[in-house]
Amino acid sequence: MEEQQLVTGIHHVTALSANPQLNLEFYGGILGLRLVKRTINFDAPEVYHLYYGNERGSPGTILTFFPYPGLSLGRKGKGQLTITSFSIPENALEFWIRRFEKFHVRFSEPEKRFAAETALYFEDHEGLGLELVANQVDQRAPTPNPNVPPEYAIKGFYGITLAEEAYAQTADILMQSMDHKALTTHENRFRYSASGKPGDFVDLLCSPDLLRGTGGAGTVHHVAFATATERSQLQARKRLVEHGYNVTPVLDRQYFHSIYFREPGGVLFEIATLPPGFTVDEDLAHLGEVLKLPPWEERRRTWIEEHLEPIHLDLKLFQ
């Protein structure tokens, strides 16, 4: 009897930033992602937690940030998720190159990779490693935005890249404990996926000569993988513990429940449930418009709002 698949793909990626307003302008303005939730870091309630994604904030599209004002820059390196890749239509590269030039975004020459994808590496204002991957296999709908025509718009994640000292132990946990399968290899890049579809590709980049990464603005804090329910999450946790990993108890993150552990190379992994989702406390049409707090922090709303910098996005500035 085939074992049930407990991990189904990528849920979200969470990174660190130093300026919430500039963060909103880059991801909501330049990239045209939707701010689907403005809430707080539950472990530091004077800091925002900003969620960007497609129209619904679907798993596999969600890039989130903890913007700590004044946080010093980190250093990308091994032991980190160094590149978060977004999926775009095959014919969209020229549009994005022109847009990056217009808004002074740092980018590299497009690079052919594997058989049917072209990657355009770029960085945000703090040096966070990002890619747009042009391909013809992603059938998901584009993210609506008045400044980005749908035929060029981002569809969600394409995948992620982890820089590792050596890839074998990380590959083992993905395949033995997290329902991933090996897909393909190119030089020192090894690709795995739980679904085999764009949005869920995990590339292990064997990079022994890189310096080890250090946390700070412009680096990724953790990556979350998706699981269907609280029950499947507990089953996934039990399996990880049986395989020798130190896994946290289940934590309530309001829009999903989470467990955390570090993979052998040092990257912080999370497994997050699909429910209840971002419409649990806001209508779909109004996601991300106001500050949402978990019930246990509502009594401190006045204090929290006084300690958060007001943020606002004027889309007309990013036409």
Domain annotation covers residue 47: yes
Domain annotation covers residue 23: yes
Domain annotation covers residue 228: yes
Domain annotation covers residue 1: no
Contact 131, 83 (CB under 8 A): yes
Residue ranges of the chain with per-residue pLDDT less than 50: 1
pLDDT by residue (tens digit) across 206-225? 999 999 999 999 999 999 99
Q: Which domain CATH number covers 106? A: 3.10.180.10
Cα dist from 37 to 28, 34, 48, 113, 255, whole Å: 12, 9, 10, 33, 10
> Mean pLDDT of all residues in the chain?
97
In degrees, to the nearest 5, what angle opens at C-alpha 66 toward C-alphas 50 and 118?
75
pLDDT for residue 1: 42
pLDDT for residue 115: 81
Residue 297: both structure tokens together: 């922090």
Q: Domain range for residue 304?
A: 9-318
Q: With pLDDT > 70 as the criterion, what percentage of the chain qualifies? A: 99
Residue 185: both structure tokens together: 């290899």
Q: How many domains does the chain have?
A: 1
Domain annotation covers residue 32: yes
User: Phi/psi of residue 13, each to 5°?
Assistant: -125, 135
Q: What whole-number distance in Å separates Cα of residue 319 and Cα of residue 211? A: 39
Looking at this protein, which amino acid is placed at residue 263? E
Contact 122, 100 (CB under 8 A): yes
Domain annotation covers residue 17: yes
Domain annotation covers residue 94: yes
Domain annotation covers residue 108: yes
Q: What whole-number distance in Å separates Cα of residue 33 and Cα of residue 35? A: 7
pLDDT for residue 114: 87
